Amino acid sequence: MPKPIHSYIWRYALILVAVGLALLPVAWMATMAFKPHTEWATSAADLHWWPHEETWANFEFIFTGQTDAVNITHERTAGKPILASLVTALLGTLIAVVAGTFGAYAVSRFKVGANLPIGVLQLRLFPPMAVMIPVMIMWVFIGAMDTWWGLSLIYGIVTLPFAFWLMKTFFDEVPREIEEAALVEGCSWFRVFWKVTLPMVKAAIASTALFVFILNWSDYVIALLLTRKDWVTIPVYMNSLSNVMSGQMYGAKAALGLIAALPPVVFGIAIQKYLVRGLTFGALKQ
Amino acid sequence: MTDSVVNASPGLSPRPAKSGRKKKPVLTPLEREGKKLGLYMTLPAQLLLLFIVAFPLCMQVYVSLTWWTPLDGTKWYDAYESLNWFGNYGDIFDDSKFWGSLARTFLIVVVVVPAEFMLGLGLAMLFADKFPGKRVFYSIMLMPMMIVPAVAGYMFFMLFQSSGPINDILSAITGTRIDMVWLADRDLAMVSVMIADIWQWTPLMFLILLAGMVGVPEDQMKAATLLGANAWHRFWRIVLPRMKTVMIIALVIRTVECFKIFDILYVMTGGGPGVATKSISVYILDLTFKDLEWSYVAAIGLFILFFLSLIALVGIYYMQAAQKKAEA
């Protein structure tokens, strides 16, 4: 049935408005990152969107701690926090995906560990703030406070639910005839898992890993509670920038924000197909 | 899909055949091997759960029954020296700051979640059919929720400056110069935080609701159209009933997540001005780091946990129902 032309016009108009609103804050930060500090605009009169003189000075400042344009220096550069974010998010992802994949396969195939599905789900529903006291006591006790492994470990645990449920939906979809054929041939269960099933879900594991990485990379609360100085991650470092300086470092923080925002956006678009599944713990599929 | 095939070959079926309630099912050697392997495979996840859920939860209960703080010099396991049983829990009821921040958190939830739901639903309806450019627009619409929340908070911090672009845009629209001090005004700060949260999480609603909408069979819609149902009727009578589960899942997920609201809010206002935007998470953070009343925080944590678990149970129930439906 052909639709009247005006319905298309309305739809595109509304979509363009929505897209514009979605992009507006990002656009302001992205352009701010390239504005020299004279254009950071503290008065409403000379507010403008596109930088008059595009510059890399903001990026230079956050990485080296100084730049010609700004006469402040900063001894703590963004290098270490970026490294900390990368290391802890990657290791956390590794822990979550390995534990989640094994656990999900066992629950999917052998129906063991009946407490796992709900157990890991509960883990997600609790506000981290409400359960962090014992974790902080524990972390001090075992010397994990402000270390790369302490933060990685907790990231691995809090994102385990996502890894577990995503992998479970993928394993549930693998046709069992293939596994059964291999079993009849005389393979052991573990060989079947390792040599037959795992290669089939390679792409799924990659998607799960990217999904979990996004979550770990986005964390702020946990890093705020469990790091002090050496292993602060990007968001914690970013928020501390304004405390150290006199006034707001708009451009520098925008540049850092842009760097922090990029990986999740790129990865998120790459795994678009599985976002619904991941975010609803496999309850919905696209 | 493949379940029937599996059950057709009982020797390989992971689920032991049900023959009588009391009788222990006889496992084939292969099944026994599978169970054993399964236990080993769940071990990492079980250990992590034990390490971070079971043990800390016991610890939290223990500490919450004392006056222990990290300041008083005793180790946490000696906290029984200042045992006070339910003193901390009693304090919760007299703590007006706690109830205040709880009320503010509820206010945020009841405004933000329905707003996100309606906007997400509207967007999902716009994106329900195919149209040129859909993929690109869809990807852009999902972007806000992928931005690191703390960074999103900073974006809105910049936007809502009194000399920032929001006032600029409003001035351009209304024609008069508007100089609202968004983040320094008690009410406007709350509004700003809500707008930021709606911006970031409407895409999540949109994503989930669109996935639910796509599941509505096209021939039903066509039949309804031929029978003379207009768009409103089609939506109300066909789409909506089929989306009930999806909607509940979306609402529960967002409600639970929104209750934890911290990152955006803390970066934008830090809970201020005064206590105007202090959510429960910010309140707990202050107690933890400024007042160092850890045993009281442990009690509050358990208190919140209890009520959130009730909401969560509803969510889990519907999620499992949806999963069963998807498997069938």
pLDDT digit string, tens, across residues A194-236: 888 888 899 899 999 999 999 999 999 899 988 888 888 999 9
- Indicate which CATH number applies to the domain containing B171: 1.10.3720.10
Q: Which helix (H) or strand (E) holds A145?
A: none
Structure tokens at A41: 């605009």
pLDDT for res A243? 54
Would residue B9 count as lying in a domain?
no
Query: Closest to B212 (Cβ–Cβ): which among A44, A157, A284?
Result: A284
Residues 6+ apart with CB under 8 A from B202: B115, B116, B119, B120, B123, B144
Lowest mean pLDDT among A33-37, A57-61, A176-180, B73-77: B73-77
Q: Which two tokens stand for residue A268?
A: 């998120």
- Look up the pTM and report it: 0.86
User: Does the structure show a pLDDT above 50 at B11?
Assistant: no
Q: Which residue has the higher pLDDT, A222 or B176?
A: A222
**Cα A235 from Cα A168, distance rounded (Å):** 31
Nearest-Cα distance to chain B for A129, in Å, is 6
Contact A200, A174 (CB under 8 A): yes
Residue B1 inside a domain? The answer is no
Please check whether residue B197 lies inside any domain of the structure. Answer: yes
- Which band of pLDDT confidence, cut at 50, 70 and 90, is reported for residue B12? very low
In a domain, B259, yes or no: yes
- The minimal CB distance from A218 to the residues B126, B148, B204 is found for B148
* Nearest Cβ partner for B308 among A49, A105, A127: A127
Does residue B10 sit within a domain? no
For residues B177 and A124, the model is more confident at: B177
By CA distance, what is B311's nearest residue in A?
A125
Cα(A104)–Cα(B11) distance, integer angstroms? 22
Nearest CA distance, A171 vs chain B (angstrom): 12
Residue A38's pLDDT band, with cuts at 50, 70 and 90, is confident
Could you name the CATH architecture of A79-231+261-279? Orthogonal Bundle (1.10)
> What does the CA dihedral B189, B105, A234, B70 come to, rounded to 10 degrees?
120
Question: Number of structural domains, chain B?
Answer: 1
**Nearest CB to B301; choose among A123, A131, A190:** A131
CA-derived radius of gyration, chain A: 24
* A283/B326 touch (CB, cutoff 8 Å), yes or no: yes
Interface test with B, best of A31, A125, A210 (most B CBs within 10 A): A125
Is residue B172 a part of any domain in this protein?
A: yes
The structural domains of chain A, with segments of one domain joined by +, span: 1-26, 79-231+261-279
CB within 8 Å: B46 and A154: no
The whole domain housing B282 covers: 95-292
Residue A3 — very low, low, confident or very high, per pLDDT cuts 50/70/90? Answer: low
Name the phi and psi angles at B66, rounded to 5: -125, 180
Query: Would B179 be classed as within a structural domain?
Result: yes
Interface of B with A in 203-242 (CB under 8 A): 203-204, 207-208, 211-212, 214, 225
Average model confidence (pLDDT) across chain A? 83
- The ipTM assigned to this model is 0.88
Do B76 and A141 lie within an 8 Å CB cutoff?
A: yes
Cross-chain residue pair A220–B148, CB shorter than 8 Å = yes
